[in-house]
């Protein structure tokens, strides 16, 4: 096997004679080992981020700073056509959460490169997969093909978004280093005239015409096909840097013992299909989504396990990956109607950074790997030496050996042969070093643990001959500083290429045995709790247990994503460190902290007298090994007052069920032929998109004459877990309460004779909406929503539905996007939404009573509830907030939540799973007045009510980040123009 690997390595060396570029610029180049940016090899450690899922631009910077602090040097970003184009020919790239330039400026400010992914199709569990929803009427043509109708539809999008991206490329001092073309488009036929090949060529030409000069990438949809690589059957449409998406976890929210089986053929896959390019994972599992009716993210313990990062991400490194983007790094919220039907309001994704913007242990463990890749320059050029169980004295241990051909530095990724095992395995490993083969004993792997052992690893002016402890990071200061970590109780051993250890000193509880022989100093130790420091001449070594390592930070002193070992400050202790700088004997540190703790700072500068933590000046206490310490505050003693949500005002939000309601301004459904590729079941066409109502609930009013009808046959579609209800002359006649597995439902509803009248019978149908489909479902975004067919039984004749008129009402203004700040997917067609009861500054009038959602409805219907509350958090606190709802067992209802005009949650108690809904600063005012509105749709005869509606806090952190700004620009209020949409 090793002979084969050596052959592959030799082939890679031959291919790597010179770096490749796209012929337009040499700022970003590549070879079989890595990407090179501005002349330096880089390990791209990226995280997926979707700005659409956070409508507050200021919070983008908060998230980006957390990414950077936790070892990421790049973000991967989808740009959703649907979010920026509410109507054909209309684009918004500037308003609030759609300000792309601000997004890219924040990324650059935070020190992150950007991998741009502008589609036009994105998938991403977002509404319609990111395709323009105005095309949901079928006008987009044949999706994701070279069809000219589709070509002309997406071309202006690429021209517009591409122009902005081109101005922000790294070639123009911007952050964008790569541009992805389309998304997981499988090349099923390798012929030059295939429609997919032509489609990719159309897209690439359009991006280049827009000014894009950075290399193109694409993401293979798992190991399902071989697509768009110049190294495999390139008949056209290939990109510069091939990528492979992988979601190998196989985890279960109900059985934590499943999954954790790594994929071990990545190296071979890349060797077969992209051997002239670096191994790149454009999407690697950072978590996974859960569907309607499934488990909520908080219940998926396996997905939150820090061992996931430890095992899977190190496994990628062992197979020579030098480009990796975690999907998702932060998931966010499917606020409004931005979700595809496969997901609910939360898009937490069990990502390393929670929906609430909170760091979990999984992110801390990810950080350890990211910081290691930051400084391990020899890792960026390696070949595969071998792999298997033959490196260790136990066949329960599996090893990947990769090696730098220039320096001979070696990296041994050790993992259990059965990576899902929870057993503890101890073994010796045979490591090839410049001093020959060395057997290192007492290497321990706990269940679901992995380590990266190194040989001939250069750190500043020193070299590790080998180490069986993981390297977290190293830095070059006045001395070299190395940071190693193990789990408490595990044995570690490392050797330095240095002549003498006679001057070493130990500070801490870990006992270490140091010996020297033949210009090699060997250290053997068992990791104790907390930190221990070994001080040698010119070298300082931190030995950290895992929890201490998680609270270790290395803020760069540069905004360049490519951070050098001498461009860092080392800090130990806080929950988060955002940045650090030094001036006039003061080290200024910006960060967040929940519990008061000791902060330790190593700068390499002896004159440090003061630590400035978030503007608080603290006397620095010097340690004997050159760092300084101080006590920093947390938030544990702060008073966080959350008011009860009371003083509700309430009004009926379904006046449309009554004949007396005036629908003269409504849209008449008068089309006989749809643009949709899906045929209507009856005519006229009742598809909502045919009448420019794309998102949210739709309300229909159908008129007919006569008392001879016994029932009505209705088929409605709104996406998975949607529901609908129908009223005859104000009386509920039924509907479908919804199920997590059906996007379309049918019912034949009996019409009570007592409710029929001779003329002008009114059938009011309310159809819920959970998004348009991604292309993985039949016709994708072009699958119609609303009523697909409606006919009375018995029919008056075989060609008639017996309805004489249908009208439809949807979100206020339809495609006009009358609220550009919140954007085109925030609202639906409920009466209370259309007239703006959910907006700040709306004042309930005398038609509103004082009932509460805890009282609810005692009969079927839809009701709106509105209240206000004040918050007054200290200005130096970040308090992630949410709203929690509960309902009595058996409740069949649909609830939407608005906070200051933003629809921030859908609660469907009979389907689930979500009951807690995070709301970020900027949507909610941490200091000031807030408006909350609820819609309660009772679907059964008994009505519905809630048990509780309350504010919740997920935590509190002392910080200097500005979470308490003036958010008024994000919260436009009510005005009388809303009354035009009754």
Q: By the 8 A CB rule, do 543 and 508 touch?
A: yes
Structure letter (DSSP) for residue 535: E
User: Which residues fall within 8 angstroms of residue 248, CB to CB, at 6 or more apart?
Assistant: 261, 262, 263, 285, 312
Q: Is 298 helix (H, G, I), strand (E, B) or coil?
A: helix
Q: Considering 184, 204, 220, 600, which one is annotated as catalytic?
A: 184
Task: Give the list of residues 6+ apart from residue 50 with CB closer than 8 angstroms, or none.
Answer: 77, 78, 80, 124, 126, 328, 331, 332, 347
3-state secondary structure at position 309: helix
**Dihedral (CA of 506, 510, 511, 512) sign:** negative
Cα distance between residue 455 and residue 379, in whole Å: 11
Determine the angle formed by the axes of helices 195-209 and 148-167, rounding to 10 degrees: 30
Q: What is each CA distance from 486 to 386, 448, 465, 545, 637, in whole angstroms?
A: 25, 14, 18, 5, 33
Comparing CA positions, the residue from 351, 305, 308, 346 lying closest to residue 326 is: 351
- Residue 29 has phi, psi (to 5 degrees) of -130, 175
Instruction: Give the whole-angstrom CA distance, residue 902 versus residue 643.
Output: 20
Structure tokens at 407: 């320096």
For β-strands 74-78 and 113-117, DSSP reports them as: parallel
Distance CA(866)–CA(650), nearest Å, equals: 6
d(CA 497, CA 490): 24
The overall longest dimension of the chain from CA atoms, in Å, is 107
879 φ/ψ angles, rounded to the nearest 5 degrees? -120, 95
DSSP codes of every residue in 370-386: HHHHHH-GGGGS-EEEE
Determine contact, residues 858/942, Cβ cutoff 8 Å: yes
How many C-beta atoms surround the C-beta of residue 56 within 10 A? 20
Q: Is 283 a catalytic residue?
A: yes
Tokens representing residue 865 in the block: 């509830």
The Cα 982–Cα 974 span in angstroms is 14
Nearest Cα residue to 55 out of 334, 389, 326: 334
Q: How many CA atoms lie within 13 Å of 603's alpha carbon, on the beta-carbon side?
A: 24
Q: What angle do CA 777, 779, 780 make, to 5 degrees?
A: 60
Q: Among residues 204, 283, 285, 782, which one is catalytic?
A: 283
Instruction: Extract the tokens encoding 855.
Output: 């009282």
Write out the catalytic residue numbers.
184, 283
């Amino acid at each position: 096997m090793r002979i084969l690997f050596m052959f592959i390595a030799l082939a890679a060396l031959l291919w790597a004679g010179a770096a490749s570029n796209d012929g337009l610029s040499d700022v970003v180049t590549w070879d079989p080992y890595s990407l090179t940016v501005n002349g330096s090899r880089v390990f791209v450690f990226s995280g997926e981020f979707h700005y659409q899922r956070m409508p507050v631009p200021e919070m983008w910077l908060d998230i980006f700073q957390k990414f950077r602090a936790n070892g990421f040097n790049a973000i991967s970003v989808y740009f959703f056509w649907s979010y920026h184009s509410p109507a054909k020919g209309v684009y918004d790239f500037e308003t609030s959460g759609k300000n792309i330039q601000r997004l890219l400026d924040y990324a650059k400010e935070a020190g992150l490169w950007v991998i741009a992914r502008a589609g036009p199709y994105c998938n991403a569990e977002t509404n319609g997969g990111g395709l323009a929803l105005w095309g949901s009427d079928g006008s987009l043509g044949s999706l994701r093909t070279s069809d000219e109708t589709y070509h002309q539809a997406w071309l202006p999008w690429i021209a517009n978004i591409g122009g902005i991206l081109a101005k922000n490329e790294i070639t123009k001092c911007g952050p964008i280093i790569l541009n992805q073309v389309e998304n997981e488009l499988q090349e099923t036929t390798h012929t030059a005239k295939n429609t997919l090949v032509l489609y990719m060529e159309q897209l690439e030409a359009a991006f280049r015409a827009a000014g894009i000069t950075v290399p193109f990438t694409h993401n293979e949809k798992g190991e399902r096909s071989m697509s768009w690589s110049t190294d495999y059957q390139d008949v056209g449409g290939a990109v510069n840097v091939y990528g492979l998406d992988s979601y190998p976890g196989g985890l279960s929210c109900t059985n934590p013992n499943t999954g954790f089986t790594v994929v071990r053929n990545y190296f071979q896959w890349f060797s077969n299909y992209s051997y002239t390019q670096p191994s790149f994972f454009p999407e690697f599992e950072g978590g996974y989504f859960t569907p309607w009716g499934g488990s909520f993210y908080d219940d998926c313990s396996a997905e939150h396990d820090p061992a996931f990062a430890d095992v899977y991400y190190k496994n990628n490194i062992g197979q020579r990956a030098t480009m990796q983007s975690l999907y998702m790094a932060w998931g966010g919220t499917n606020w409004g109607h931005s979700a595809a039907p496969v997901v609910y309001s939360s898009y937490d994704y069990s990502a390393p950074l929670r929906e609430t913007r909170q760091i979990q242990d999984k992110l801390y463990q990810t950080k350890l790997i990211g910081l290691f890749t930051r400084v391990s320059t020899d890792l960026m050029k390696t070949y595969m030496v071998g792999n298997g169980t033959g490196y260790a004295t136990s066949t329960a241990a599996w090893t990947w050996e990769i090696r730098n051909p220039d320096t001979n530095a070696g990296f041994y990724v050790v993992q259990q042969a059965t990576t899902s095992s929870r057993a503890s395995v101890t073994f010796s490993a045979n490591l090839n070093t410049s001093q020959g083969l060395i057997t290192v004993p007492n290497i321990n792997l706990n269940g679901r643990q992995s380590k990266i052992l190194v040989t001939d690893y250069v750190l500043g002016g020193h070299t590790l001959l080998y180490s069986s402890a993981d390297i977290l990071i190293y830095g070059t200061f006045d001395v070299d500083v190395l940071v190693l970590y193990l789990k408490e109780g595990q044995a570690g051993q490392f050797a330095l290429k240095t002549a003498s250890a006679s001057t070493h000193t130990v500070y801490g509880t870990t006992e270490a045995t140091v010996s020297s022989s033949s210009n090699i100093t060997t250290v053997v130790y068992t990791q104790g709790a907390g930190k221990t420091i070994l001080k040698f001449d010119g070298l300082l070594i931190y030995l950290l247990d895992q929890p201490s390592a998680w609270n270790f930070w290395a803020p760069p002193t540069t905004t360049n994503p490519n951070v050098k070992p001498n461009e860092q400050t080392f800090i130990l202790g806080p929950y988060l460190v955002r940045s650090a700088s030094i001036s006039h004997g003061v080290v200024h540190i910006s960060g967040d902290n929940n519990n008061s703790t000791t902060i330790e700072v190593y700068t390499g500068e002896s004159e440090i007298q003061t630590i400035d933590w978030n503007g608080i000046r603290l006397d620095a206490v010097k340690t004997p090994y050159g760092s300084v310490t101080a006590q920093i505050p947390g938030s544990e003693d702060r008073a966080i007052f959350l008011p009860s949500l009371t003083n509700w005002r309430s009004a009926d939000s379904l006046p449309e069920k009554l004949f007396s309601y005036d629908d003269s301004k409504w849209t008449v459904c008068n089309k006989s032929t749809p643009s949709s590729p899906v045929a209507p079941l009856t005519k006229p066409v009742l598809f909502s998109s045919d009448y420019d109502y794309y998102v949210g609930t739709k309300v229909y009013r159908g008129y007919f004459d006569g008392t001879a009808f016994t029932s009505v046959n209705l088929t409605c579609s709104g996406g998975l877990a949607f529901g609908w209800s129908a009223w005859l002359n104000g009386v509920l006649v039924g509907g479908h309460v919804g199920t997590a597995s059906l996007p379309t439902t049918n019912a034949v509803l009996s019409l009570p004779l007592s409710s029929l009248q001779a003329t002008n019978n009114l059938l009011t149908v309310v159809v819920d909406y959970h998004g348009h489909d991604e292309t993985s479902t039949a016709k994708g975004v072009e699958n119609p929503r609303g009523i697909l067919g409606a006919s009375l039984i018995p029919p008056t004749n075989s060609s008639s539905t017996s309805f004489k008129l249908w009208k439809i009402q949807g979100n206020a203004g339809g495609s006009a996007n009358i609220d550009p700040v919140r954007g085109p997917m925030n609202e639906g067609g409920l009466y209370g939404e259309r007239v703006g009861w959910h907006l700040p500054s709306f004042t309930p009038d005398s038609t509103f009573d004082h009932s509460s959602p805890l009282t609810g409805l005692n009969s079927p219907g839809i009701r709106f509830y509105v209240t206000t509350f004040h918050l007054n958090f200290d200005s130096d606190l970040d308090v992630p907030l949410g709203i929690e709802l509960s309902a009595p067992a058996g409740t069949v209802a649909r609830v939407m939540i608005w906070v200051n005009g933003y629809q921030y949650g859908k609660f469907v108690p009979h389907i689930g799973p979500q009951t807690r809904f995070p709301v970020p600063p900027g949507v909610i005012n941490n200091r000031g007045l807030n408006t909350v509105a609820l819609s309660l749709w009772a679907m059964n005869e008994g009505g519905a009510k809630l048990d509780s509606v309350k504010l919740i806090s997920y935590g509190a952190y002392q910080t200097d980040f500005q979470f308490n700004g003036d958010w008024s620009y994000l919260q436009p209020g009510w005005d009388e123009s809303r009354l035009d949409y009754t």
